[in-house]
Amino acid sequence: MPRLQTLLVLLCLLAPTSLAASPSGSPPRPIAPSPAHSQAGPKTAKRRSPAHSRPAPKTAKRSANGSPARPLTPSPAHSHPGPKTADRRPLPITHYDPTAGDNVDGDDLAVRRAAVDALGPYNGTVVVVDPQTGRILTIVNQKTALDSGFTPCSTIKLVTAFAALNEGLIGRDTPVQLTRRTSLDLSSALAHSNNPYFQILGDRLGYERVVHYARLFGLGEKAGWQIPGERPGALPEAPPGHGGVGMMTAYGEGIELTPLELAALVSAIANGGTIYHLQYPRSQEEIDHFNPRVKRHLDIANWIQDVKVGMRGAVDFGTAHRAGVDQQEPILGKTGTCHDSRALNHLGWFGSFNDVERNQLVVVVLLTGGFRINGPIAAGVAGSIYKQLSQQNFFANGRILSTQVCCTR
């Protein structure tokens, strides 16, 4: 019994110490905690790594610039570059050579060099013609120029203007009412390429007359004479379903036009009404025996000056101002800008000629590419060609067109 009492006394002395250390009866915790238990509590136990030791919202509030703080060494699972980060990646640089594949035998040396330099890396083509003979002096990017037709965009307004003048629907100064308070005459409408004006004229002309005049100016048929690889443009069999004839006469909807067809059309305006078969001599012998070939004469002499005023206005103060104003060697032209749904391209056209006494040229530029391409940019390309040649005294009296075999880039 004394021994039993002694054991009971010892147990009573030890019991308070054990209960104080672990009220729940669980084993006592060490005094020096391990790193994994540096922050006690249920929430701390659920965290997987020191990087997530604090909730994201509280960290975001402490950011100096108000944006969520980024971890210094994020795990792959949390590396989510946003759209802006992806956009900052450098885009691949591509170089386009519009002269690739060109056969340049017989080209005029000075003209081709100017055209190649002016076109630069643009995806497009340049056609330069002597409007008094129909001789092609150079074609840069021959595949694009010869292979297919494109929507003419606003260059079709030249055909619309002559049709309306010849049919007596308007005169040069006849105002056409666009709205209750707005009216335009032909010169201003051409200079600024006003779409509603030419839509109204198209509705008044009707489909049959529009197609008739388009064929007279060479649309829908080959412009060249036995030029290998040339394909003609096309005219629609019916008015466009959306917008009717007005879409044809303002935007060229449904029409396919080639750069050579536009060059022949503009040449007829420059020379007084003669549509030539465009010829592309490829050897010295062909050049020596070159003879112009007339396709047809157009009775448009009475209306040419009326249209030329608008084409001059386009360069002086209108859509073609990038071509550059030169009072000594003025440039006349018509721009065109639109989207070609068939080719899935944005187009920039410029058909032009310069008003000089000697070595007059027709320059047609067609640019194809992104949405930054337009008619004014094409006008700038043509203006550069005229300027370079003028600086070389190309249009001076006594200068003879070169017949040397020419160059590539």
Number of other residues whose CB lies within 10 A of the CB of residue 182 = 12
> Which residue ranges form the domains of the chain, and what is each CATH number?
109-391 (3.40.710.10)
Beta-sheet pairing, 294-297 with 274-276: antiparallel
User: Best-predicted range by mean pLDDT among 62-66, 96-100, 222-226, 339-343?
Assistant: 222-226
- What pLDDT, on the 0 to 100 scale, is given for residue 242? 87
Q: What is the mean predicted confidence (pLDDT) over 57-83?
A: 43
Lowest mean pLDDT among 41-45, 175-179, 243-247: 41-45
Q: Is 403 exposed, middle or buried (0-12, 13-18, 19+ CB in 10 A)?
A: middle
- What pLDDT, on the 0 to 100 scale, is given for residue 10? 52
This prediction's pTM:
0.76
What residues form DSSP beta bridges with 350? 335, 365
For the chain, what is the mean pLDDT? Answer: 82
- What pLDDT, on the 0 to 100 scale, is given for residue 309? 98
More confident residue, 260 or 24: 260
Q: Is 292 exposed, middle or buried (0-12, 13-18, 19+ CB in 10 A)?
A: middle
Strand, helix or coil for residue 32: coil
More confident residue, 331 or 40: 331
- Whole-number percent of the chain with pLDDT over 70: 73
